[in-house]
C-alpha cells in the first residue's frame, strides 16, 4: 500500500479550510496532518508536522501567505508548497513562483480536480490554474521574444534535464538519474532558464510540456 500524502492546510477561513480537509480526507490516500490560520502559524505547523505538501492561502493575517512561503522554502527539508487562493493578480502569481511555489490553484477549483492536483503536485508536478497558465505563457512569449520552439537552442543534455524537471524531479533526483552532481544540475538549470527567457522551474516545465516530444 502506498504511503498517504501528508498535507498541511493554511487558510484563515475555518469553514473553507475544513471543507478542503474533508474533501482531501474523503478521497483516500491523503492525510491532513496540520492546519493553520495565519502566516506565522503556518511556518510552525509545517516545521512540526513535516508534510509532503502545503496548501497555502495568500491573504491572511500575520504576514500572509507569500512571506510564509519564503520562510517555508528555507527550512532544512522544505516540503512542496502550492498556493490555494482567490487572487488572480499577476504579481501574486509571479511572486509565488519566484519564491518557490510548485503550484498556484484558484479557489474555484472543483473538489475532484483539487484532489487530482494535490496528488500530482505531491509527485512533483507543477500546476497553474488554466486561465492563469494561459496568461503566463502569453507573458513569457511577449517578454522574451522567444522563437516558435524556444527549446531549439538547448543542448541535448539540457533537454534531458528539462524533460526530467518537467516530470517533477528535483535537482538531486535529476542528478541521480543522469549521474550528475546536484550542483552541476543547478548550473545547467541556470543556463536553461536563461535560454528559455523564463524566471523559474514552473515556467520552464510549462514550456517543456508544450514543446518536448517523447
Neighbours of 44 (CB within 10 A): 12
Determine which helix (DSSP H) or strand (DSSP E) holds 124, and give its type and residue range. none
pLDDT value of position 141: 61
- For residue 51, give Cα distances in angstroms to 7, 79, 127, 175, 209: 5, 6, 19, 24, 27
pLDDT value of position 34: 96
Cβ(98)–Cβ(92) below 8 Å: no
Residues 6+ apart with CB under 8 A from 211: 149, 150, 151
Rg (CA), the chain: 17
pTM of the model: 0.73
pLDDT value of position 1: 44
Q: List domains and CATH numbers for the chain.
A: 5-135 (3.40.50.2300), 146-208 (1.10.10.10)
Cβ(54)–Cβ(83) below 8 Å: no
Residues 6+ apart with CB under 8 A from 188: 157, 158, 161, 180
Give the SS3 label for residue 158. helix
Cβ(104)–Cβ(97) below 8 Å: yes
pLDDT value of position 86: 93
Beta bridge partners of 35: 9
Per-residue pLDDT of the chain (214 residues; tens, 9 = 90+): 468 999 999 999 999 999 999 999 999 999 999 999 999 999 999 999 999 999 999 998 888 899 999 999 999 889 999 999 999 988 899 889 888 898 999 998 999 999 999 999 998 888 888 878 877 766 666 655 444 566 888 888 999 999 998 888 888 899 999 999 988 998 889 888 888 878 788 888 888 887 776 5
| Alpha carbon of residue 39 to chain centroid | 18
Amino acid at each position: 500500500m502506498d504511503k498517504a500524502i501528508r498535507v498541511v492546510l493554511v487558510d484563515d477561513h475555518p469553514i473553507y479550510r475544513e471543507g478542503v480537509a474533508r474533501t482531501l480526507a474523503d478521497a483516500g490516500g491523503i492525510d491532513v496532518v496540520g492546519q493553520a490560520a495565519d502566516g506565522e502559524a503556518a511556518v510552525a505547523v509545517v516545521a512540526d508536522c513535516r508534510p509532503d505538501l502545503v496548501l497555502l492561502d495568500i491573504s491572511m493575517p500575520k504576514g500572509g501567505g507569500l512571506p510564509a512561503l519564503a520562510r517555508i522554502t528555507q527550512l532544512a527539508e522544505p516540503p512542496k508548497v502550492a498556493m490555494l487562493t482567490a487572487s488572480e493578480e499577476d504579481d501574486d502569481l509571479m511572486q509565488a513562483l519566484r519564491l518557490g511555489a510548485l503550484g498556484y490553484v484558484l479557489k474555484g477549483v472543483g473538489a475532484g480536480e483539487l484532489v487530482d492536483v494535490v496528488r500530482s503536485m505531491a509527485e512533483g508536478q507543477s500546476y497553474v490554474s488554466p486561465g492563469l497558465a494561459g496568461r503566463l505563457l502569453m507573458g513569457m512569449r511577449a517578454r522574451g521574444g522567444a522563437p516558435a520552439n524556444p527549446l531549439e537552442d538547448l543542448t541535448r543534455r539540457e533537454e534531458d534535464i528539462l524533460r526530467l524537471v518537467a516530470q517533477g524531479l528535483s535537482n538531486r533526483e535529476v542528478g541521480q538519474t543522469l549521474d550528475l552532481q546536484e550542483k552541476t544540475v543547478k548550473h545547467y538549470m541556470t543556463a536553461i532558464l536563461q535560454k528559455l527567457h523564463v524566471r523559474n522551474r514552473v515556467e520552464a516545465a510549462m514550456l517543456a510540456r508544450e514543446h518536448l516530444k517523447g
